[in-house]
Structure 1
Amino acid sequence: MKNGLASMVIGCVIMVFTSAYAAGETTDAAASAHASAQAAMSHGEIRKVDKTAGKLTIKHGPLENLGMDAMTMVFKVKDAAMLSRVKSGDRIDFVADEVDGALTVVKLEKRE
């Protein structure tokens, strides 16, 4: 009986420590993913805002996730509200991706 009880206690202690260790790894993984997302942002300058067409013309640096060199090009925006947050000449950090076959700004942050 004592051996059975001792085994159960040890098993519970191991489960608690294993859970705590796994929770720590999850937190580290989330922090790493956030850092990677920030690093994946490209830098650019707004050249034109076309609210009617829902597009931005951006002079940008390399778009690593798309394998593109620096250039000026037109992008759709994922959210039309992005168009009212920027104006020509604004410097931005952004993430572009291919959405339904069109290059689209999916994340946009104005730089100070």
Structure 2
Amino acid sequence: MKNVLASIALGCALVVSASAYAAGDMGNMDMGGSAAKQGGDAKAGMSHGEVKKVDTSAGKLTIKHGPLDNLGMDAMTMVFKVKDPAMISQVKPGDKIDFVAEEVDGALTVAKLQKK
């Protein structure tokens, strides 16, 4: 019984020390995230694209876009929902745009849009 208690105590000590080691000194770590890095320059986080199709009734835009770094996606053409339905009236097929896409409730959504 004494050996069992000693083993449990030693195991607990190892778990606690391993947790403390893993946490380490995080004082020099950048905890700001990508949003903080964008700072005042909103265009830095925007992707470039061309509107291929506008589906007003569904509230969707088909956009041929460059890489979407914030989503880890390569350049392609795809359909996006729009966060604000007023965005639909701002663009037409062929327009060049800068935009920010986010995943909202499992759907890729244009959160910000600027016509070039």
Give me the whole-angstrom Cα distance separating, in 1, the residues matched to 2:62 and 2:55. Answer: 8
What's 1:34 paired with? Answer: 40
Quote how far apart the aligned CAs of 1:34 are: 1.6
What's 1:12 paired with? Answer: none
Amino acid across the alignment from 2:55: D
Give me the whole-angstrom Cα distance separating, in 2, the residues matched to 1:105 and 1:49. Answer: 13
SS across alignment from 1:34: coil
Q: Say yes or no: does 1:64 pair with 2:61.
A: no
Give me the whole-angstrom Cα distance separating, in 1, the residues matched to 2:114 and 2:43. Answer: 11
What's 1:53 paired with? Answer: 58
Mind listing any 5+ residue stretches in structure 2 that lack a counterpart?
A: 1-35
What's 2:48 paired with? Answer: 43
What's 1:10 paired with? Answer: none
Q: Of 72, 95, 104, which aligns to 1:99?
A: 104
Quote how far apart the aligned CAs of 1:33 are: 0.7
* More helix, by proportion: 1
Give me the whole-angstrom Cα distance separating, in 2, the residues matched to 1:86 and 1:61. Answer: 18
SS across alignment from 2:39: helix
TM-score (structure 2 length as normaliser): 0.67
Give me the whole-angstrom Cα distance separating, in 2, the residues matched to 1:96 and 1:76. Answer: 9
Give me the whole-angstrom Cα distance separating, in 2, the residues matched to 1:93 and 1:34. Answer: 16
Deviations 1:27-84 (A, max 9, x none): xxx8x6122x321100000000000000000000000000000000000000000000
The count of aligned residue pairs is: 81
Amino acid across the alignment from 1:64: D
Amino acid across the alignment from 2:76: M
What's 1:76 paired with? Answer: 81
Which runs of structure 1 show a deviation greater than 6 angstroms over 4 or more consecutive aligned residues? none
